[in-house]
Amino acid sequence: MSQTIAIIDYGAGNLKSAQNAFERAARGSDAEILVTSDAQTVRRADRIVLPGVGAFADCMAGLDGVAGMHEVLTEKVIEGGTPFLGVCVGMQLLASVGREKIETRGLGWIDGAVEKIAPTDPTLKVPHMGWNTLSVNRPHALLDGIETGENGLHAYFVHSYHMSVSNLDEVIATADYGGPITAIVGRDNIFGTQFHPEKSQTLGLALISNFLVWRP
């Protein structure tokens, strides 16, 4: 069955890398990958991806600046149950509030705050940049077939802030960087990764492939 995946362009994402990764994962299927800043195109999509790089406040302002997009996301994801994937700052925007430089409200889909990483090991630098394995708190369909844990596949991170989640049941996986940092959050039809699946090679391609067939 054909489907459309909308990757939202709001001026704050690795759009070409994301598009390439999704097209690779969708190869051989009849999925259409659309990079779009048009709210009506997102309204017609079967799956929605929100990428993001940069500062929380700038990204939230960029998203709010796209006519009708905030309203369509609420309609599709919260009210309509459309499968949703947030990536990096696109995941962080799911939080209630971001505390990067200034306090900025988020979408509020995952109760929590985005705060600066504070490794217990003083030799670890911030930003956290590089490859880490994932420690999974609970199974999830998007992780099916992906080897996790200490000897598992690695995901690529580059960030200075992470989400402190109020309901720990919504933390699907963490990574270790001088203590646990939130790597994946999710509930219902909402899934978010702090790492970049589009840059995470084998792990990322498998996760995207799982997202394309996920039926929450």
- Mapping DSSP to helix (H, G, I), strand (E, B) and coil, where does residue 38 land? coil
Catalytic residue among 88, 140, 162, 170: 88
Catalytic residue among 128, 140, 162, 198: 198
Using CA atoms, how far apart are residues 196 and 193, in angstroms rounded to an integer?
7
Catalytic residue among 140, 159, 162, 196: 196
Q: Beta strand pairing status for 171-176 and 135-136?
A: antiparallel
128 is catalytic: no
> What is the helix (H) or strand (E) element at residue 6, kind and residue range?
strand 3-8
75 is catalytic: no
115 is catalytic: no
What's the CA dihedral at 195, 201, 206, 211 to 10 degrees?
A: 50
The total of other beta-carbon atoms located within 10 Å of residue 90's CB is: 25
- For the beta sheet containing 47-50, the strands, ordered from the edge strand earlier in sequence to the opposite edge, are 31-36, 3-8, 47-50, 84-87, 190-193, 180-187, 171-176, 135-136
Which amino acids are annotated catalytic?
Answer: 88, 196, 198
